[in-house]
Amino acid sequence: MWSQDILNELDAFEQKAQKRELFTVRDADKRWLTMKGRRLLNLASNNYLGLSGHERLKAAAIRAITEYGVGATASRLIVGNHPLYEKAENALKIWKRAEASLILHSGYAANIGILSAVIGRNGVVFSDKFNHASIVDGSILSRAEHKRYRHNDMTHLEALLKKTPKDKRKLIVTDTIFSMDGDKALLLDLVTLKERYNAILMVDEAHGSGVYGPNGEGYSYEVNLQGKIDILMGTFSKAMGCYGAYVTGEPYIIDYLKNKMRSFIFSTGLPPMILASIQEAIYFVQEEPDRRERLQTLSDDFREALSLYGFDTCNSTSQIIPLRIGSNEKTIEFSERLQEAGIAAIAVRPPTVPNGEARIRFALTSEHDAEELAWAVDKIASVGKELGVIL
């Protein structure tokens, strides 16, 4: 029976401590959130600059609702191409110093749409093993051959490129800041390889936008390689505090996407209020570099304090700080003990990370306070000792 099969599968999730549940969370845009009746220090959101609850973004959204209503009414190629798209895309283009840009739906929709538009049945996608699930899904949807190289292993990537016939369309894709390890892509090496093997290079700045670069443009701009990247996508849903995604590139690439990208063509445009808040967020990150600097300092201090206690923070160098534990059960217990101690942090389990690499993922924001974080480190260390994660 199919229903019994489904129940068995759910059971198996439970057995492997992989079953997921939804909890209502209040105040996730603030430093302290409320979950299961507890007030917890919020080390779980991707609101890296504290923008999602910011007055400027809220005011822009409210004005747009009052003037334009709440829905876009149709896809952009029909009648959903609201004037606020033009404004936000212009702001985006100037911020990124890009020749052409396109605002898209969620980061997930952007990745599945871009990949399946740009690469097809005869192409090959070369994808870092730690790339986000939306990149994996986009590669599968494209029907291209999908080759995953070991995380940041350029020798492995080059060996795979070498074996691929010259006449195939090739695309290398990577997160710039990896979402579960908090480390960074080797962009300079990727540019060298893409040039050597005549491949398209696509990067995903979901965790880099707003956080890195002289004007918060993204990590590619921090290392000054933006001009070498063929398809640069990112999201407005994390540090930018809003919702939606974007892509920049040469005009013919953007034109191609408008014509081929199915998640863009066949989906209703973003609500005007989101476009208004995106535009405001783009201005905001350029005007307030302080938040980026604060975020880096807080992250460095927090990470260093944890490693001094003997925790394994993987290779993190960013605001995403994992604490590698290993077993699913122990990771869940760790996360529950943290909640009892007043801290919200996510337990990340397979299949989001490889088997045996379950971890707690801390995400910091510029709005945290150094004293609160020091308090959190003490609590984390006590839990770590109790559970035998550290000595």
Ligand X SMILES: *Cc1c(COP(=O)(O)O)cnc(C)c1O
Q: Min. distance of Cβ 350 from ligand X in angstroms? A: 17
Question: Which residues, 241 to 270, sit near ligand X by CB under 6 A?
Answer: 245
Q: Which span (118-126, 199-207, 323-331, 377-385) binds ligand X, by CB under 6 A? A: 199-207
Report the C-alpha gap between 274 and 82 in whole angstroms: 11
Question: Which residues, 226 to 245, sit near ligand X by CB under 6 A?
Answer: 235, 237, 245
DSSP SS3 for 231: strand
By beta-carbon proximity to ligand X, the closer residue of 175 and 357 is 175
Residue 84 has which token pair?
């606020």
DSSP SS3 for 303: helix
Q: Answer yes or no whether residue 139 interacts with ligand X by CB under 6 A.
A: no
Give residue number: closest CB to ligand X.
107
By beta-carbon proximity to ligand X, the closer residue of 89 and 204 is 204
By beta-carbon proximity to ligand X, the closer residue of 222 and 381 is 222
Tell me how many residues contact ligand X (CB under 6 A): 14
Contact 152, 131 (CB under 8 A): no
Cis status, amide bond into 354, omega within 30 of 0: no
Report the C-alpha gap between 333 and 340 in whole angstroms: 11
Q: Answer yes or no whether residue 322 interacts with ligand X by CB under 6 A.
A: no
**Cα radius of gyration rounded to whole Å, the chain:** 21
When binding is defined by CB under 6 A, the residue of 47, 174, 179, 335 that contacts ligand X is: 179
Q: Answer yes or no whether residue 42 interacts with ligand X by CB under 6 A.
A: no
Residue 33 has which token pair?
């959130």
Report the C-alpha gap between 40 and 29 in whole angstroms: 12
Q: Answer yes or no whether residue 68 interacts with ligand X by CB under 6 A.
A: no
Report the C-alpha gap between 149 and 129 in whole angstroms: 6
By beta-carbon proximity to ligand X, the closer residue of 206 and 321 is 206
Q: Answer yes or no whether residue 108 interacts with ligand X by CB under 6 A.
A: yes
Q: Min. distance of Cβ 48 from ligand X in angstroms? A: 12
Q: Answer yes or no whether residue 361 interacts with ligand X by CB under 6 A.
A: no
When binding is defined by CB under 6 A, the residue of 47, 101, 111, 335 that contacts ligand X is: 111
By beta-carbon proximity to ligand X, the closer residue of 134 and 335 is 134
Provide CB contacts within 8 A for 112, sequence distance 6+: 134, 137, 138, 141, 263
Q: Answer yes or no whether residue 277 interacts with ligand X by CB under 6 A.
A: no
Contact 73, 79 (CB under 8 A): yes
Q: Answer yes or no whether residue 106 interacts with ligand X by CB under 6 A.
A: yes
Strands (DSSP E) along 142-280, which ranges? 145-149, 170-175, 200-204, 231-235, 245-249
Report the C-alpha gap between 169 and 171 in whole angstroms: 7
Q: Min. distance of Cβ 94 from ligand X in angstroms? A: 22
By beta-carbon proximity to ligand X, the closer residue of 285 and 377 is 285
Return the C-alpha torsion angle 315, 331, 377, 302, nearest 10.
20
Nearest in space to 247 (alpha carbons), one of 224, 231, 270: 231
When binding is defined by CB under 6 A, the residue of 82, 132, 147, 361 that contacts ligand X is: 132
Report the C-alpha gap between 351 and 360 in whole angstroms: 14
Residues 200-229: x/- map of binding to ligand X (CB under 6 A)?
----x-xx----------------------
Q: Which residues bind ligand X (CB under 6 A)?
A: 106-108, 111, 132, 134, 175, 179, 204, 206-207, 235, 237, 245
